[in-house]
Structure 1
Amino acid sequence: MASPSPTLTKIISHPFFFFLFFFSCSTILSYAIRTSSSPSSSINSNDLHHLSRAERLIRSLNLFPTKPVNIIGGGGSGDDDVFVPGKIVEKNFSFLSLSNSDHPSIHDLGHHAGYYSLVHTKAARMFYFFFESRNNKDDPVVIWLTGGPGCSSELALFYENGPFTITRNYLSLLWNDYGWDKASNILFVDQPTGTGFSYSSDDSDIRHDENGVSNDLYDFLQAFFKEHSEFVNNDFYITGESYAGHYIPAFASRVHQGNKNQEGIHINLKYYDIRKKCYGEMCYDFSDMERFLREGKVREALGVGKLEFVSCSRRVYDAMNGDWMKNLEVDIPNLLEDGIRLLVYAGEKDLICNWLGNSRWVHAMKWSGQEQFRASPTIQFVVNGSHAGSLKSYGPLAFLKVNEAGHMVPMDQPEAALEMITRWMKGILTVTTQTHYASHN
């Protein structure tokens, strides 16, 4: 595929139709937060105290969604008001500038946005982005799930590991040199229902537990691979961060169950996890993303009509309240015993959920390889000649501490994150790391 223009400012479109233990995590509350009424002002501790837990999370990201959830009265995205369960409506789109004649065509670029009408709902539609690999269509298919619960995966798309990054204040896009689409065909999904551009016209479609979440994702995946049958034989990895430490093991177990029961299309699950469940404020600023996704040309390109973008949903966050204390680690040993590979990673400077707590639960998890994993050596993770982290592994299980990274590793250490997932998907993470370690010591 031809190399695209480095600056992406103009928008054109063409219609087409994985686990969590509870940890007590330190919380940092002393920082300035912009308020919707005064962008330059800060919120004092008394104001912060009166906000709900969900509102504190959203304000800490410098996000100001105009509504608590995408439950609409009618009209939706404007594409099709008739709800047909199981239907996918998708379009090819491009954020590329037309000023460079050498950039790929919309079809060759392989960027898609669409809606899937969830089967086990009354009227819910799940919004997603799909970016074909810049390298090779035979690369693995990866799905990314942002946490919250209730935050849009566009946070990762534009600030962590998507194809683009947003230039500060100018709302133009640049190619991300460390985007995971350089090593995979990647999906970003707005879920649970009511998050991002995903919506419903029926309040009962809001999800409250991992059973509903994992079934919705599994149904979407079946429809996606039916729509994109050329990717069915590719390896498949589940990724995410923060509260996705709940979503991922439940979703992986659902896919594994579906494969064993021969339900629909067999999915080549390889499993991959970024397990960093959070409780407190994170001091990131994602406000440019909200502004960008409100631009008329952007909305037109994505086919979302007049639908509001709910960056993080207070309603979805509160609806999942009963799910917070559930231990989803119990699902993992069965996956490991069946050879489903698992990578757990954490930033060494994540004050929200420190790497040591994550390491301890991985070491304490009971499975047939537990003693061998605990006895295995910790080796260096080397990227481009530099010590980028510490890795421990045995069989299908690996744990990586990433140096100089906080809560959002792909944002803090993008080169290390891309190298990590690339080696992991190729099955050479531990081999390459040990080789590099030996050559540099």
Structure 2
Amino acid sequence: MEHIPTILFLLSTLLFAISVEAPPSPLFPDEALPTKSGYLPVKPAPGSSMFYTFYEAQKPTFPLSDTPLLVWLQGGPGCSSMIGNFYELGPWRVVSHATELERNPGAWNRLFGLIFLDNPIGVGFSIAASKEDIPINQRQVAEHLYAALVVFLEQNSGFEHRPVYFTGESYAGKYVPAIGYYILKEKPNGKVNLKGLAIGNGLTDPVTQVQTHAVNVYYSGLVNAKQRVELEKAQEIALALVKSQKWREAGDARNELLTLLSNMTGLATLYNTARSIPYRSDLVVDLLNQREARRVLGVSETMSFDECTDEVEDALHEDVMKSVKFMVDYAVERTKVLLYQGMLDLRDGVVSTEEWMKTMNWSGLGMFLTAERRVWMDGDGVIAGYVQRWGNLCHVAVSGAGHFVPTDQAVNSRDMIEGWVLGKGLFGVDDVKQPISSKLYHSI
């Protein structure tokens, strides 16, 4: 009997210890869950659907019916926009551990709604009913995107008049102009209230851009004169194949050029000259292949997630070296366009974009090329980059960033997109004085 109090004490101590111990944290905290996620049917391809995650604005400054919607498209071709979501600009990201989501201080949905689309169908969690339904050109990409977004707007009451901005990076340097061109040219009075296009580190005019690699790395000190000549020869091979309209072979030649460039420089990644290891987008793959992640996102637990899909890449391979610059030319006469690049990117960086920008067929090009390039300072007085703007075109070179600008410069990238959408500061129409009587002013 004398041992009973001792036993009770020990049991109560054990129970107390169990009761106060914090339960394991869920993979997705409640605040990290998307506002909505799921599938949007793609009418031109029966049985196919596009996966999306949507995050409403955290601190909107307009009524929700007027709050801008940003649509994010990943590149590849064939890579999932969940990389953008969970590694770049979404509200919660994986930074160092696949099972640990961290709040993103530079999330792009602070003031705006943000929707990530796994585009084209067959990418990420999106579903292609058959291999033949996967797009093989930008026209088909645009048709699918438009169909999916219309369904999204129709499913959400009060969304029909929200301003829409298409954004994306890398191979989305084609997707973004394609959907913009499609809406402006064929659906100007349709259900998508298009207000702007933003392209980060985009592949848009490949023939022009592929010719910049040799000179860029040479004057950066990454190769010598002999290597420069070798790179120029590799560039010429790709260009000759384009002239012969051997599109698949031209895409192969570009890949060989980039491999040669990587071997010569010895860099961990051409996407960012300052990194000692490649970007860790593989963390997103590990995250989304966990059962809990698929469950909370509304995806079948039997599905597996790949960062990039070989079938989609192969379907669009003949599209790789084809230009969509004419689509940007058409768009910039009718809506505002933002082109931004991380200054540390050797694949689709500042030099490659500036070269094709100089060849644009746009009434405001002359004024843009002579416009002052302003120094952009962040909130701490540190150089964040450089901004050049005139009329509908804004070009931004982002300091301290590579191919994945929002990953490298989260807060600055958010400030850039907010300034551009809202038309404020260096990114806005009020910063550069334009003569009201000019032909340029009336043309836009």
TM-score over 0.5 for the pair: yes
Q: For residue 109 of structure 2, what is the amino acid of its counterpart?
A: D
Match of residue 146 from structure 2: 218
Match of residue 200 from structure 2: 274
Match of residue 325 from structure 2: 329
2-structure distance, mates of 1:226, 1:162: 24
2:147 matches 1:131 = no
Choose from 142, 154, 157 the match for 2:85.
157
Contact 1:150-1:195 within 8 A present in 2 as well: yes
Q: Which runs of 5+ in 2 are unaligned?
A: 1-23, 207-254, 259-268, 272-277, 432-444
2-structure distance, mates of 1:326, 1:133: 36
2-structure distance, mates of 1:304, 1:393: 42
Higher RCO (C-alpha under 8 Å, 6+ residues apart): 1
Q: State how 1:90-101 maps to structure 2 within 5 Å.
A: 95-97=28-30
Q: For the structure 1 residues 319 and 266, does the alpha-carbon distance in structure 2 shift closer, same or farther, using more than 3 Å as the test? A: closer
Q: Note the C-alpha offset of 1:170.
A: 5.4
Choose from 358, 368, 379 the match for 2:363.
368
Q: State how 1:53-72 maps to structure 2 within 5 Å.
A: none
Q: Note the C-alpha offset of 1:373.
A: 0.7
Match of residue 15 from structure 1: none
Q: Note the C-alpha offset of 1:165.
A: 1.1
Match of residue 311 from structure 2: 315
2-structure distance, mates of 1:211, 1:432: 31
Match of residue 336 from structure 2: 341
Q: For the structure 1 residues 110 and 155, does the alpha-carbon distance in structure 2 shift closer, same or farther, using more than 3 Å as the test? A: closer
In percent, how many aligned pairs have the same letter? 29
Choose from 374, 399, 402 the match for 1:403.
399
2-structure distance, mates of 1:433, 1:412: 27
Match of residue 254 from structure 1: 182
Q: Note the C-alpha offset of 1:167.
A: 4.6
Q: For residue 96 of structure 1, what is the amino acid of its counterpart?
A: P
2-structure distance, mates of 1:326, 1:434: 36
Match of residue 387 from structure 1: 383
Contact 2:419-2:427 within 8 A present in 1 as well: no
Q: For residue 321 of structure 1, what is the amino acid of its counterpart?
A: H
Give the SS at the match of 1:221: helix
Q: For the structure 1 residues 112 and 419, does the alpha-carbon distance in structure 2 shift closer, same or farther, using more than 3 Å as the test? A: same
Q: For the structure 1 residues 268 and 316, does the alpha-carbon distance in structure 2 shift closer, same or farther, using more than 3 Å as the test? A: closer
Bigger Rg over Cα = 2
2-structure distance, mates of 1:333, 1:288: 37
1-structure distance, mates of 2:429, 2:150: 35
Choose from 346, 355, 363 the match for 1:351.
346
2-structure distance, mates of 1:273, 1:312: 20
Q: What is the aligned residue count?
A: 334
Q: State how 1:423-434 maps to structure 2 within 5 Å.
A: 423-430=419-426
Choose from 26, 36, 41 the match for 1:10.
26
Deviations 1:10-47 (A, max 9, x none): 25xxxxxxxxxxxxxxxxxxxxxxxxxxxxxxxxxxxx
Contact 1:123-1:205 within 8 A present in 2 as well: no
Q: For the structure 1 residues 336 and 167, does the alpha-carbon distance in structure 2 shift closer, same or farther, using more than 3 Å as the test? A: closer
Q: For the structure 1 residues 132 and 418, does the alpha-carbon distance in structure 2 shift closer, same or farther, using more than 3 Å as the test? A: same
Q: For residue 421 of structure 1, what is the amino acid of its counterpart?
A: I
Q: For the structure 1 residues 129 and 266, does the alpha-carbon distance in structure 2 shift closer, same or farther, using more than 3 Å as the test? A: closer
2-structure distance, mates of 1:269, 1:229: 20
Q: For the structure 1 residues 259 and 227, does the alpha-carbon distance in structure 2 shift closer, same or farther, using more than 3 Å as the test? A: same
Match of residue 194 from structure 1: 122
2-structure distance, mates of 1:159, 1:178: 12
Match of residue 234 from structure 1: 162
Deviations 1:267-316 (A, max 9, x none): 23322222423965542222221121122222111221112212201111
Q: For residue 322 of structure 2, what is the amino acid of its counterpart?
A: K
Contact 1:378-1:392 within 8 A present in 2 as well: yes
Give the SS at the match of 1:364: coil
More helix by share: 2
Give the SS at the match of 2:44: coil
Contact 1:239-1:272 within 8 A present in 2 as well: yes
Choose from 116, 130, 154 the match for 2:40.
116
Q: Note the C-alpha offset of 1:328.
A: 0.4
Q: For residue 339 of structure 2, what is the amino acid of its counterpart?
A: V
Q: CA RMSD in A?
A: 2.3
Q: Which runs of 5+ in 1 are unaligned?
A: 1-7, 12-94, 98-102, 436-441
Q: For the structure 1 residues 197 and 266, does the alpha-carbon distance in structure 2 shift closer, same or farther, using more than 3 Å as the test? A: closer
Deviations 1:303-354 (A, max 9, x none): 211122122011111110111121100112222222x001111111111223
Contact 2:104-2:410 within 8 A present in 1 as well: no
Q: For residue 130 of structure 1, what is the amino acid of its counterpart?
A: F
2-structure distance, mates of 1:273, 1:232: 24
Contact 1:144-1:189 within 8 A present in 2 as well: yes
2-structure distance, mates of 1:160, 1:379: 26
1-structure distance, mates of 2:143, 2:429: 36
